[in-house]
Amino acid sequence: MRPHELPRGEDPQRQQLVSELMSTLAAAYLPLVQELRRPQNCIVPLWACAKAGHWGDGLAAELLARLAAGDGELLRRASGKELSNLWWSLSSGVPDLHRLEAEVGSRLEGGAAGGPPPAGRGFSSQAVSNMLWGLAKLRRADSSLLRPLAEAAGRAAEHFTAQNLSNSLWALATLGCSSAEYAPAVRFLLGAAQRLLQQQPAAFNAQNLSNSLWALATLGCSGAEYGPAVRALIGAAQRLLETRPAEFTGQALANILLALAVMQQPSGSEALIEAAAAECRRRGFLGFTPQNISNAAWALAKMPRSGPELYAQWYQGWYEAAVQAAMQPGFVGAAEAQAWSNLLYVLGLVRHRPPVALLTLASENAKLRTEANTQVCINCLWSLANLYGRLEVLDGGSRAAVEALVGLLAGRLRELLLRKADGERPTAVQGLCNGLWALAVMGADTLSLRGLARSLLEEVARRWEAEGRGGFEVEALRQLWQLGRSVDAVVELEGGRRLAVEMDGPTHFLANCEHRRTKDGSTQLRDRQLERVFGRGNVLSVPYWEWNALRGGKAAQEEYLCRLLLRGLGGSGNGTGFHSAAGSEATTEASAPRATLGSPASALPAGPTPVDADPGGAASDPRQLQRRRS
């Protein structure tokens, strides 16, 4: 802070000065509290305490006690605006609110929000929005005021500003108001937002837009009746991002991507998705929290897409930038276990193998070691299995880094599995099966690691005894028993020898540049399992880049396949197009772990928590082999 200048908001000395000033004022005001006769003389100092973030010195407690004294006499005399300000003030300090709730409830019953206040005790539109926002800040989803305030917000929606609409939608989403009883209020608010944008296209700022879109995704507003409002918000966000991108914080960009992913990329949102993702990369994720980075990465990976190469090189460049940001001190030092899990899970999903340095940083992370839950551990193992496959075939540096992280996760997961606190089950059956699948992909050494495979199998057996067949989905059983593996083609030769031929497209290989000819873990496991059926040397692979490079039509293709079969017969394990089970390749037609929107934290949605799924299956009996339909 410079002499003769007001301190800036970010100046650390400013907080010290504010605290000293508030303490001085509190000491002078405290003796007067019991003599206060007007509600505003209690509420204005509380508002000041909230703005300053200063709740010490006993002043706030004395003011609240004075408001509640005499059976709440001062509260009953307070105007609607004063009660709204009081509610806003208390959203950052949590006293007993029952008396205040009762007073607000009786006022809501006495008159419609936005209309003429009965006897001066009604609530303005601003007051209703503020109180609903305050409920959300206090996480009072069980408050008796929630539904009356939501209904009042719906009635007052046409009088709301963009900030009121955004705050009210955010509050309803934060408090989990997705049931039918709140649907009318949500529709009224969205209708008002749409009409406001038609009249004033620039009415919503960046934070309003990102919070509103996040709220729509959280509330499940995917029906046709919500379409016009969703498109209006998307269009406004796109225009603002194209003209004034600096107005969007990292949190706002991540929230927009997250919302559009959860809503399954609504019609007309493609340009906004590209612009938001490009802005993240342009900034190098500077100013993003670990949760912002992992949320944005998860969202971009979960956007619906089609084509032979689902995650093209533009996406791989984007994830490379995200990985570089995750290796900086700001991420490494602050990331929770969930953020690490989400990032690693996404890299596995888009088949982007990160630098070894990222794995080293993760394996040194104390929060992963001590705070990771079973979901986090299993999702990380699933990703490592898909990205690295069988560990014995990795080079020394990569193998050491992967094994260190796998060892940390395995130790933590076994610790959680062995806990028997009140019979709490550590994760869903699908998660247990995913863990076993990951260990099988990474090979024999991993299967024996810390007795984890045995602990997982024992937990699966306990679930079967307790729940029977009904507790297991078909995908989990298929994954557990490795049934139903299909083969592209089986060629039977003279003498009865059979060769399995797999046509491996881009989804069977990693996707970032230097690893694009490395099979992922699922395909490696497929090849090993097929070799158990057909015998070593009898599983052949046709990589897509060789097949696509053929010229000459059907004749060239037939010549290529003949050469492939001849190499297979000759046992040339390293020839072009020939797969050896010791090689490093793989992917799966089955789905990767799925995800649900976590519970939001303030205006920032919690990191998505991927739900485990079916990373692959295999056949152990030749009679179960089928020709895959193309």
Q: What average pLDDT score do residues 305-328 get? A: 82
Would you say residue 216 lies in a domain? yes
Whether 425 and 446 share a structural domain: yes
Please give the pLDDT value at position 582.
Answer: 38
Angle between helices 429-442 and 474-481 in degrees, nearest 10: 30
Please give the pLDDT value at position 26.
Answer: 84
Query: For residues 405 and 383, what is the distance between their CA atoms, to the nearest angstrom?
Result: 12
Whether the Cβ atoms of residue 453 and residue 439 lie closer than 8 Å to each other: yes
Whether 294 and 373 share a structural domain: no
Residue partners of 256: CB distance under 8 A and separation at least 6: 209, 210, 213, 214, 237, 248, 272, 276
The count of C-alpha atoms lying within 13 angstroms of the C-alpha of 518, restricted to the half-sphere facing its C-beta, is 19
Cβ-count burial 395-407 (b if 16+ within 10 Å, e if not):
eeebbebbbebbe
Q: Which amino acid is at 167?
A: N
Q: What average pLDDT score do residues 412-417 get? A: 87
Give CA separation, 203 vs 157, 206, 229, 233, in Å.
15, 10, 14, 11
Instruction: State which of 428, 463, 485 marks the end of a domain.
Output: 485
Whether 443 and 469 share a structural domain: yes
Instruction: State which of 440, 470, 485 marks the end of a domain.
Output: 485
Whether 523 and 429 share a structural domain: no
End-to-end CA distance of the chain: 69
Whether 475 and 557 share a structural domain: no
Please give the pLDDT value at position 281.
Answer: 96
Window from 67-71, 166-170, 357-361 with minimum mean pLDDT? 67-71
Would you say residue 107 lies in a domain? no
Would you say residue 161 lies in a domain? no
| Tens-place pLDDT, residues 55-100 | 667 777 677 767 766 666 787 788 877 877 777 777 655 455 555 5
- 482 pLDDT more than 60: no
Instruction: State which of 541, 567, 593 marks the end of a domain.
Output: 567
Whether 351 and 470 share a structural domain: yes
In degrees and rounded to multiples of 5, residue 586 shows phi and psi of 160, 155
Give CA separation, 404 vs 313, 339, 381, 383, in Å.
29, 19, 12, 15
Query: For residues 123 and 136, what is the distance between their CA atoms, to the nearest angstrom?
Result: 18
Give CA separation, 132 vs 127, 140, 143, 171, 601, in Å.
9, 10, 11, 6, 16
Angle between helices 227-243 and 183-199 in degrees, nearest 10: 40
Whether 381 and 490 share a structural domain: no
Whether 291 and 372 share a structural domain: no
Whole domain around residue 514: which residue ranges? 486-567
| Tens-place pLDDT, residues 92-136 | 554 555 555 666 666 666 554 444 433 223 577 887 888 788 788
Query: For residues 293 and 300, what is the distance between their CA atoms, to the nearest angstrom?
Result: 11
Whether 369 and 462 share a structural domain: yes
Q: pLDDT class for 527, splitting at 50, 70, 90?
A: very high
Fill in the DSSP letter of residue 26: H
Q: pLDDT class for 629, splitting at 50, 70, 90?
A: very low
Query: For residues 425 and 373, what is the distance between their CA atoms, to the nearest angstrom?
Result: 12
- Dmax (CA) for the chain in angstroms is 106
Query: For residues 293 and 286, what is the distance between their CA atoms, to the nearest angstrom?
Result: 10
Mean of the per-residue pLDDT values of the chain: 80
Give CA separation, 213 vs 4, 127, 138, 206, 263, in Å.
44, 23, 22, 11, 9
Would you say residue 26 lies in a domain? no
Please give the pLDDT value at position 30.
Answer: 85
Would you say residue 226 lies in a domain? yes
Fill in the DSSP letter of residue 612: P
Window from 35-44, 156-165, 269-278 with minimum mean pLDDT? 35-44
The residue ranking higher by pLDDT, 619 or 257, is: 257
Whether 411 and 549 share a structural domain: no
Whether 345 and 480 share a structural domain: yes
Whether the Cβ atoms of residue 253 and residue 280 lie closer than 8 Å to each other: yes
Instruction: Identify the sign of the CA torsion 130, 134, 137, 140.
Output: negative
Would you say residue 376 lies in a domain? yes
For strand 539-543 and strand 498-504, is the pairing parallel, antiparallel, or unpaired? parallel
- 335 pLDDT more than 90: yes
Please give the pLDDT value at position 611.
Answer: 36
**66 membership: H or E segment, kind and range:** helix 59-77
In degrees and rounded to multiples of 5, residue 601 shows phi and psi of -115, 115
Please give the pLDDT value at position 463.
Answer: 78
Would you say residue 438 lies in a domain? yes
Q: How many domains does the chain have?
A: 3
Of 614, 188, 214, give the one whose Cα is nearest residue 433.
Answer: 614
Would you say residue 588 lies in a domain? no
| Tens-place pLDDT, residues 583-624 | 443 333 333 332 333 322 233 233 333 333 333 332 222 223
Whether 346 and 473 share a structural domain: yes
Whether the Cβ atoms of residue 488 and residue 354 lie closer than 8 Å to each other: no
Across the strands, what pairs with 609? 596
